[in-house]
Structure 1
Amino acid sequence: MKKIVLLLFLLCISFKNFAQINPDNIEIVRDAYGVPHIYAATDSEVAYGFAWAQAEDHFELLQKAYLAGNGLLGKLIGLKGAGADFLVQLIEAEKTVDEQYHTLDKDFIKLLEGFTEGLNAFAEKHPNEILKKELFPITPKKLLHYTQLQLFISNGADKLVKGIVDNKLSWPYEIEQDTKGSNLMAISRSRTQSEETFLAINTHQPLEGPTSWYEAHLVSKEGTNMIGATFPGSPCLLTGANEFLGWTHTVNYPDKADVFALEMHPTKDDVYLVDGVEYLLEKYKAKLSVKFLGINIPIRKKFYKSIYGPTLKNKTGVYSVRTPSITNINALEQWWHMNKATNFTEFYSALEMKALPGYNIGYADKNDTIFYISNGKIPIRASGYDWTDVVPGNTRKTLWDTYYDIQDLPQVVSPTSGFVYNANHSPFKSSGAADNPKAENFSKDMNFETYDNNRSTRLLKLLQEEELINYKRFKSIKYDHQFPIPFHYNFMDINPLFAMKSEDYPDVRILLEEIQNWDRITDPASFGAGAYAVLYYQLQPFYDALGADRIFTEEALYKALKKTKKYINRHFHKERVQLGDFQKLVRGSKELPIFGMPDVVTAMRGEPYGDGRLKITHGESYIGLVRFTPTKTYYESVISYGNSRRPESPHYTDQMELYANFKTKTMSFDRAEVLKTAVTNYAPR
């Protein structure tokens, strides 16, 4: 008997070794900027190498992301992590992944297995870098738990949960939703007047944190050759290009999540009524553990589930949150299929999976197809309800469970104008006027955006003012950092500022004239830009006093100007300040004056950073400029700091000067060209 047991054990060990990936079959080539170019025969081997490279560059951040996705972040960072830990249990990420894991493509499961195997191998070799042992070994399902959390948050559903908890279910719940967003732009050969088709990848993400970008080049003999960027912990690229096509995203704002007010039974506890039928709330307790003074303190928080979805109680009632992001687990798989597409038909087929709950998509390819879609998994909702507010949760009429097909969403393919663009504004203004989707063809219950903003207004002007858009002009449009005249914010009207007579306000006359005479270019050396930037951040307390028209009065602007003058005098000891003295690009000990402001094309937004200055936290993050010709694809890129999050790495800050000076680095799909400039070449072991 002992011999049989020993034989079975040895067979299991042999099978395990056979199933494991051999790191020696994987090649990681690092270029001069530390970007990993990963080569292997299979996608799963490339994923192993990709995981290893990510761990080399940001293992701590990657672990924190997965800890949040698996309800363990509070154990590491305390109360600040409890919110994410609660959300991932509220949406039952673990249960959803378990129930739907069989729906994943088997080849994609192999990729997930290769990626997590690479992470675990790195952890085994570097045990001193492990933050929480409970996280390991990382499995494909643990990875997907985190994806479910991220997509729930990206749909804005976390804000609805917060609204219930805080007893503040009011709309609109986001006043500046477009000032930190991204841009996309694709130009066809009818406008380049050459054999080139252009795509601009211009994301405006946080510069640090779990949704900041990481660049890589992934190559396998199974048809992968993709350059682009991803978020830490993702096994595939989320934006970029292969040799045939490329795409990018901007955030869109159709109605992607709803709140339902349940009708509770008048006498029976935890019983709710739907069309007069009684249903019992399912009761749960989230198991949280918050670290305090080095001790993990267990906490239990009640939540519920109704037929509408995750449910919470507050002082005013019982509410359920419903969003399409928690109805499937295939989002990363869809991105992987987009990575693998070689033409527009294959790319569009990937979109038809309807696994991405949102995001605009801009696309271009070597066949000169350009394309825009306000993508998403949008519910088909019953008419007759105000879906922008809390809706009744007492009838199955409001219980949506079907979704619009991809063909039914606003989109433009190969427009006669020769361009598509988006800057987090209306999908009904995504190309030339003759090519735009028409709002009346789409249900108002989809609640697509109908507004413009400064970026969209400026981009359209630049795209239309000259017929020829060669590559030089294309880059100048992408790097434009000038506000339009007049200003076109979607959440406030500040244009009365420019009608104020400076002689009527002698105590702020210099400041007001500086702004009024400003050319609206957000150049670091500009005093007008510096004055306006300080004013912009002083306006926040005045938003609540704006009327329905959102127009600033001269009285409010005068008060804000006085605050601005006082701020500049106090912190800079003079009446004038250059933009680059006020706002900085900062990482570690390196500081650079930086261009941009919220809602210019090269958007930048900051937070206080000592001595009255701002440190940029959101804005231009990953930039990719792609040129497709019939025979070759060209790619150049830059990232805000560097490709490593390790302070000791030479690649922690080595792209900051490029970034601050509107420059890029050249990337190549060709292995021979990559090897010419390779700095290191090694196997992930």
Structure 2
Amino acid sequence: MRIPLRWAGLSVIAILIAISIGLLVWEPIAAERGTPPESDRVYQAEIIRSEYGVPHIYGETDADVSYGVAIAHAQDDFDTLQDVLAMARGRYGAIAGQDGAAVDYAYHLLDARGTAQRQFTSLPEDTQALFNAYASGLNQFADENPGEVKLRNLFPVNGEDVAAGFALRQPFFFGLDKVIGPLVSGEERNPEPGPPLAALPVHMGEAGNFAGSNAFAIAPEKSGDGVTRLVSNSHQPLRGGVAWYEMTVQSEEGWHFTGANFPGSPYPFLGHNEHLGWTNTVNRPDMIDVYQLVMDDAGEKYRLDGEWLPLETRTVWLGVKFGPFTLPVPQTVYRSAHGPVIKNDEGYFAVRYGGIDNLDNLDAYYRLNKASDLDEFRSILARMDIPSTNFIYADEAGNIGYFYNAAIPDRMEGPDWRGVLPGDRGDLIWGGPVDFGEIPQLVNPESGWLFNANNTPFSAAGEGSDLDPADFSPVLGIEIRSTNRARRAAQLLSEPGPIDRARLEAIKYDTGYNREGYVAMMLDGVAALDLSDDPGLARAQALLGQWDLSADNVGDADALALLMIRPFMGADYNNGDIPDFREELERSANHLMEHFGRLDVPMSDLLRLRQGEVDLPLDGGSDTLRASTLWDIDDDGRLSLRHGDSFIQFVEWEAGERVRSQSIQPFGAATTRPDSPHYTDQMQLYVDHELKPVRFWREDVLENAASRQVVSNRQR
């Protein structure tokens, strides 16, 4: 029987239509529908927004406040919150395509869901309640705003879902992607400890790619006016899943804190309460070990201490968005007693990292929010539940402190832990972190000041006060490298005299470079080039040779130097290859000539802070204390800042006075709401090096309130 061609054509069309429909709907159908928190608890919170739209969330209980945090944040940036929740459920590829699928692969590889399932219910009940309340607020906002939901079956979520997001993201802040990326591609691992290279998308934590942050604490005897000061100067992406969101929280259960969190958290990660405060900077200890497994011929078992054990193997399906379709892509993930396993052409490699299978940091951050003095604060850090990041601390009693917080694996002496370890030795599978007393920490140094700028902990308080690296085991893998920011900070803080508020502000906003390290190497390398064959490039060489070592928008060479510095800074920070001097000079000069027609273009014309219709000039550079670290190159050739100075906060404790603080963010409280008056209302202050008041005390909030709202799930 012959089928007429027209019917055959219709059959093909029908099949294609069926396939298209299937690709459109398979991912949300295949995805396991979430479940809301089991509790039918009623929550109520009051959200008062300041004149800058910063939410101040009040509730009878901490859980009420957490519920309100979710509502307030969703009002300002529900788009990003959904991205974070999609990552926490292994469905980000259905939103962000191939980049999102890479995150989903990491989600399955690290067993983020399994970690949350094993660990969440073992957390203290009040911590679980906090996360479930937060999930309830997100669910309510999604129900009340269905038109904003961008992925079917993403909601409802529960506390375990939120916890899975923590399990996924926390190891990327100390460089796990720098290890996973080369293993997946079969490249050789760099044995030197370093920050993430963003082998996975920046949504995972551009705390990694050119990681940054500055932190300062000044004791009252050094401040000149008896005031204890703490400066938080985090360098994060200005948008996205690891961009700061500012808030103040207060409950009748004693929780009163102001600071900032990342999307997907029910509490701030840094800031201050009445009694004490802290800020964080990324540190770079050796937190990750790689083992090569000895496999049987079938590739199904690995040898450990003379026994053959089955390699855990799972096939997972990643939803990858291509245009209107979401395509199912299978991936196999492996796991051994060591941890996640990656297979490449060279074999099977297991990865083990500090904080693996531990989610007690969810509780630790909550307890830090409510700590009342140095002893309590230090006892929480001593649990070693927060995997990494330096803590710079100050309090109302005038104490200042630096804690090189890191859950560094408790390794035995002898093996080469920076190389690839034999996977068949069980004695190399460490069980937990070193004791808290083994990591660098410094309280109330004689100098009266402390800082960190992503540098070695052995430069923190100045000559005569710094820790001695000889006192710490090399097995800890503590970094000994510096940054330009650290050199500048140490130099400026070490100058004689009190460090008062004005001097501290000048240090924080410093735009200078020291002619040391990669800066000197770059300038000397360019100066040594023979450019007699290219007069145009020789002019660029001469201009760079006249640079005044500042990114302050004053010198004629500032724009050229800004373009030149970043690749050399990145290579130094990430232990990479030195860029070619001529190629980088040519690239930078060509960019300026193509888009501006001149080499000596004012840097303020090149570097911009852009959001919506607002377009402002910027100062600062890559690795200056006034940080303008990463940018996007727009069609007009200008550099639109996307990573650098983000949340900045100055905190002050004066004897006999209540704590006071000021802060600023690059854009505003409502970063993805163009119709909001708080979409861009902090930009001019940010550009002008100014701060806005933090309304920490309720009476101050009420006097300056832009809006008040009571939210509840009572009638739901």
TM beyond 0.5: yes
1:330 matched residue in structure 2: 360
Identity, % of aligned positions: 33
- Equivalent pair of 1:426/1:448 in contact (CA under 8 Å): yes
CA change 1:657–1:271 in 2 (3 A) is same
Q: CA RMSD in A?
A: 2.5
Supply the distance in 1 between the matched residues of 2:458 and 2:324 (Cα, whole angstroms).
53
Closer, same or farther: CA 282–561 of 1 in aligned 2, 3 Å: closer
Cα deviation for residue 670 of structure 1 reads 1.5
Q: CA deviation at 1:551?
A: 7.4
1:512 deviates by 3.3
| Aligned pair partner of 2:412 in 355, 373, 382 | 382
Could you state the TM-score of these two structures normalised by the residue count of structure 1?
0.91
- Please say if 1:287 is aligned against 2:317: yes
Alpha carbons of structure 1 residues 199 and 140: separation in structure 2 relative to 1, 3 Å: same
Partner of 1:33: 52
Q: Distance in 1 between matches of 2:563 and 2:175?
A: 29
With over 3 angstroms needed to count, the CA separation of the structure-2 counterparts of 1:188 and 1:537, relative to structure 1, is closer
Say whether the 8 Å CA contact 1:493–1:550 is kept in structure 2. Answer: no
| Deviation of 1:18 (Å) | 9.3
Q: Which residue pairs with 2:711 in the alignment?
A: 684
Q: Which of residues 261, 264, 267 in structure 2 aligns to 1:233? A: 264
**Which position in structure 2 is the counterpart of 1:618?**
643
The question of whether the paired residues in 2 share the 8 Å contact of 1:514 and 1:528 is answered with yes
State the partner residue of 1:664: 691
* CA distance in structure 2 between the partners assigned to 1:314 and 1:599 by the alignment: 36
Cα deviation digits, residues 349-387 of structure 1 (max 9, x gap):
111221111001100001011000110111011222222
The one-letter amino acid of 1:670's match is W
Worse overlay, 364-373 or 575-584 = 575-584
Normalised TM-score (structure 2): 0.87
Structure 1: distance between partners of 2:686 and 2:353: 37
Name the structure 2 match of 1:607: 632
My pick for the range that moved more, 430-439 or 638-647, is 430-439
User: Where has structure 1 moved over 6 Å in runs of 4 or more?
Assistant: 175-178, 501-505, 538-541, 548-552
- Cα gap change, 1:101/1:565 in structure 2, threshold over 3 Å: closer, same or farther? closer
Query: Is 1:595 paired with 2:649?
Result: no
Question: Bigger CA drift: 114-123 or 323-332?
Answer: 323-332
CA distance, structure 2, for counterparts of residue 311 and residue 508 of structure 1: 49
By how many angstroms is 1:277 displaced?
2.0
- Determine if contact 1:539/1:560 at 8 Å carries over to the other structure: no
Q: Distance in 1 between matches of 2:56 and 2:96?
A: 33
Corresponding residue number in structure 2 for 1:641:
667
Q: CA deviation at 1:538?
A: 7.0
The total of aligned residue pairs comes to: 659
**For residue 668 of structure 1, what is the amino acid of its counterpart?**
R
Separation (CA, whole Å) in 2 of partners of 1:610 and 1:67: 31
The more displaced of 452-461 and 67-76 is 67-76
Q: Per-residue deviation at 1:550?
A: 7.4
Does structure 2 retain, via aligned residues, the 8 Å contact 1:69–1:84?
Answer: no
- Does structure 1 residue 220 correspond to structure 2 residue 251? yes
Letter in 2 for 1:661: D
SS at structure 2 position matched to 1:494:
helix
Which one of 548, 567, 574 corresponds to residue 519 of structure 1? 548
1:351 counterpart residue number? 381
- Structure 2 CA distance for aligned equivalents of residues 133 and 268 of structure 1: 40
Q: Using the TM superposition, name which of 433-442 and 620-629 deviates more.
A: 433-442
> Are 1:302 and 2:321 matched, yes or no?
no
Residues 60 and 252 in structure 2, CA contact (< 8 A), matched pair in contact too: yes
Take 1:232 and 1:345, find their aligned partners in 2: how far apart are those partners?
30
Which residue of structure 1 lines up, in the alignment, with residue 282 of structure 2?
A: 251
Deviation at 1:513, TM superposition (A): 3.7
**1:5 paired residue number:** none
Report how far residue 502 of structure 1 moved: 10
CA distance in 2, matches of 1:496, 1:549: 19
Residue of structure 2 aligned with 1:166, choices 178, 185, 205: 185
For residue 602 of structure 1, give the secondary structure of its aligned residue in structure 2.
Answer: coil
CA distance in 2, matches of 1:451, 1:44: 43
| 1:516 to 1:95, Cα distance in 2 relative to 1, 3 A | same
Which amino acid counterpart does residue 43 of structure 1 have in structure 2? D
Secondary structure in structure 1 of the residue aligned to 2:293: strand
Match of 1:273 among 292, 303, 307: 303
1:576 aligns with 2:607: no
**Larger deviation: 372-381 or 515-524?**
515-524
Secondary structure, aligned partner of 2:294 = strand
What is the 5 A alignment of 1:59-458?
Answer: 59-171=78-190, 172=192, 179-265=210-296, 267-458=297-488
CA contact (8 A) 1:90 1:286 kept: no
2:135 maps to amino acid: T
For residues 85 and 94 of structure 1, what CA distance do their matches in structure 2 show?
Answer: 11
SS at 1:341 equivalent? coil
Cα drift, residue 101 of structure 1: 2.1
Give the AA of the match of 2:224. Answer: Q
Does residue 20 of the first structure (1) align with residue 41 of the second (2)?
A: yes
Mean Cα displacement is larger for which, 126-135 or 492-501? 492-501
Q: Write the distance in 2 (CA, Å) between the matches of 1:566 and 1:410.
A: 46
Question: Partner amino acid for 1:35?
Answer: V
Residue 236 of structure 1 aligns to which amino acid in structure 2?
A: Y
Structure 1 residue 294 displacement after superposition: 2.5
Q: Distance between the aligned counterparts of 1:562 and 1:77, measured in 2?
A: 34
Is the Cα–Cα contact under 8 Å of residues 180 and 603 in structure 1 kept in the other structure?
no
Alpha-carbon distance, 1:321 to partner: 1.0
Q: How many Å apart are 1:325 and its aligned residue? A: 3.0
Inter-partner Cα distance in structure 2 for 1:416 and 1:276: 55
Q: Distance in 2 between matches of 1:121 and 1:412?
A: 45
Deviations 1:131-183 (A, max 9, x none): 22322111000000111111122232233222211001321576987854101
Aligned counterpart for 1:493 among listed residues 521, 536, 545: 521
State the distance in 2 between where 1:587 and 1:409 align.
42
* Contact 1:181 1:203 (C-alpha < 8 Å) held by counterparts: yes
Q: Taking structure 1 as reference, are residues 313 and 679 closer, same or farther at Cα in structure 2, changes over 3 Å only?
A: same
Q: Which one is further off, 601-610 or 357-366?
A: 601-610
Closer, same or farther: CA 383–213 of 1 in aligned 2, 3 Å: same
CA distance in 2 between counterparts of 1:569 and 1:385 reads 53
User: What is the Cα deviation at residue 508 of structure 1?
Assistant: 4.1
Kindly state the Cα deviation for residue 466 of structure 1 after the two structures are TM-superposed: 2.5
Q: Secondary structure at the match of 1:303?
A: strand
Return 5+ residue gaps in structure 2 as ranges: 1-36, 198-207
Question: What letter corresponds to residue 105 of structure 1 in structure 2?
Answer: P
- Residue in 1 that maps onto 2:561: 532
Distance 2:544 2:165 in 1: 46
Equivalent residue letter for 2:481: Y
Aligned residue number for residue 589 of structure 2: 565
The aligned amino acid for 2:589 is K
The offset of 1:509, in angstroms, is: 4.8
Shift of residue 489 of structure 1? 3.6
| Cα distance per residue 1:386-422 (max 9 Å; x no partner) | 2222222121121111311222111101101111111
* 1:516 shift after superposition: 2.9
| 8 Å Cα contact 1:287/1:301 also seen in 2 | yes
| C-alpha contact (below 8 Å) 1:148/1:325 kept by paired residues | no
